[in-house]
Amino acid sequence: MAGGKVSARQKMINLMYLVFIAMMAMNMSKEVLSAFGLMEAKFAESNIAASETNGALLDDLITKGKEKKEEFAVPANKAQEVNRISDRFFKYIETLKADLLKDGGYVPDTETGKLPFEAMDKTDILDEKWFTGDRLTKAGQAVMAEIEKYKSDIKAVLGTDVKYKKAIESFDKRFNTGPVTNKEGKKIDWLDYHFQGFPAIASYTKLTAMQNDVKVTEANMFNLFLGNTLTEAVSLKKYQAIILADKSAFFAGEKFQGKVVLGKYANVTPTKLTVQGTEIDVAKAVDSSGAAKLDFNVGNVGEHKVEGSFTFLEDGKPLEIPIVGNYVVVPRPNSATISADKMNVVYRGVDNPMTISFAGVPDNKVTANANGLKKVGNGKYNMKPSTGTEVKINVSATLDDGSKAGDSKTFRIKDIPAPTGFFRGVKGSTKMSKSGVAKGSVKADFEDFDFELPLRVTQFDFKVPGQPTITVNGSKLDGRAKAALNRARRGQTVQILNIKAKSNGPLIKKISPVIIEITN
């Protein structure tokens, strides 16, 4: 069909077909562009209406938060945070739309304010700005980063509260930016799928639609905060009785002291209060916050239950809310807990960290004394023994009733171990070239010692077979030692011995030597 000579008449017919098809495409394109424009206008109107509605909801929440702080303060704060995050993201999308109009040279009609929908057919504006090959440009990456930030910020406001689980799931679906499968079954990046290759009016409309999603999210959140809060505030069945003890455990013979309250401190006075089978005077026990103070003997050592009930009047009928709790009574302490954080002994001349406490007694009522013992924090001490072979630590505690309790423990005192000599990071014996020995430095360190005690080498002896021993000051070979080293033969061993070092603490024991076989 492609071969042979085509007549002039056939050429004309073919050209007319091409012109006809192009005209149809142009007309269809204008209709599609106009349709996108009408959709954009609808979204824009909806956003204006949603802004007014959302503003009213937010004002309502803020007012309720001031009038009924117990029920609405937290939801009102969350709503204001959602509003701030949404407003910022909404304005960011507005800058994307403004840039799209500016880059395309599209100007709204001065009389009607409408955009030139049918002229907004360019596809290269965002294609060149957001995409490069199969990747996103920095501008495209910035767009995705802003979307992800908006999503994470909104979810951070909701937190992990289970009552917001469905709202978060709905929000994730609305702003799902995961890869999209096209009609050929290929996965396409979200931004690429929705914006690359589309005419300007389509992209502009999609951005306005995203703004509408922001307004819908905001409205859903505000209604969620109002709805959940109102449900909890209307019925006392949403509350639970909670026991708040002054402390988690009590000594035998003490009185239990604490509070039993309704969740969220419902400011509602009960008609009756019963605890441990005894009816309590409501007028004396319940304070202005709705909390009822408890005061009764705790009983013997062991675990005990607190049982009773709150009775309220709701809808003209008595509503009973059970009180269920427990507490533990422990014996009075007669021994202290004293432990060395590092090991079972203490080392002379260094700070040995220790933890000293008394069971059931706060730190400010515990006193510890011993030679070399110094308090450095809450229950934390440093023990720095000097002379002797043992040290005794005495601990005393003042109990809640004013009585005293005491205990003591004795620790063995040991000298710090002897350090190990190192040359170029090697201990004991090794092989090395003359040049390696000449460049090396002598160091000393403690092996398998749990304390930080830096050492500084001040002197060592350098011995080459057949030559006098040379005493070197410092940690590196001096000129005399290097001269002796140069006279050493291959296979001979040189010794670094009588290493001396200093520390900021105790005296240092004899340091082990290093023996080096010369390899050249």
Secondary structure letter of residue 293 according to DSSP:
E
Mean pLDDT, the chain cut into blocks of 10 residues (520 residues total): 52 53 47 76 87 91 86 89 95 93 88 82 90 90 95 90 80 92 87 89 90 92 72 47 63 69 62 82 73 76 78 68 75 67 79 85 89 92 90 89 86 89 92 92 87 88 93 94 92 93 84 92
DSSP H/E element including 222: helix 200-234
Structure tokens at 150: 């908006």
Nearest to 485 by CA among 457, 520, 450, 460: 520
Nearest to 257 by CA among 287, 285, 297, 305: 297
* Neighbouring C-beta atoms of residue 360, cutoff 10 Å: 18
Secondary structure letter of residue 107 according to DSSP:
-
CA distances from 452 to 171, 347, 391 (A): 54, 12, 22
3-class DSSP string for 47-64 = HHHHHHHHHHHHHHHHHH
CA distances from 450 to 177, 211, 230, 384 (A): 52, 61, 60, 15
Separation of alpha carbons 388 and 414, rounded Å: 9
Separation of alpha carbons 82 and 164, rounded Å: 14
Specify the pLDDT at position 22.
Answer: 45
Specify the pLDDT at position 18.
Answer: 53
Specify the pLDDT at position 20.
Answer: 45
* Neighbouring C-beta atoms of residue 495, cutoff 10 Å: 17
**Does residue 439 come out as left (phi exceeding 0), alpha (psi in the -120 to 50 range) or beta?**
alpha
- Per the CB < 8 A criterion, the answer to whether 457 and 471 are in contact is no
Specify the pLDDT at position 28.
Answer: 41
C-alpha dihedral over 150, 152, 154, 159, to 10 degrees?
-170
Secondary structure letter of residue 441 according to DSSP:
B
The residues that bridge with 421 in the sheet, in sequence order, are: 444
Separation of alpha carbons 245 and 326, rounded Å: 10
Nearest to 495 by CA among 428, 446, 440, 433: 428
CA distances from 173 to 42, 43, 206 (A): 22, 19, 16
Read out DSSP for 139-207?
HHHHHHHHHHHHHHHHHHHHTT-GGGHHHHHHHHHHT--S-EE-TTS-EE-HHHHHHTT--HHHHHHHH
Report pTM: 0.43
Read out DSSP for 250-278?
EETTPEEEEEEEETT------SEEEETTE
Coil/strand/helix, residue 131: strand
CA distances from 318 to 237, 312, 315 (A): 12, 6, 8
- Per the CB < 8 A criterion, the answer to whether 489 and 518 are in contact is yes
- Per the CB < 8 A criterion, the answer to whether 515 and 461 are in contact is no
- Per the CB < 8 A criterion, the answer to whether 460 and 498 are in contact is yes
Coil/strand/helix, residue 419: coil
Q: Which residue has the tokens 């002054």?
A: 246
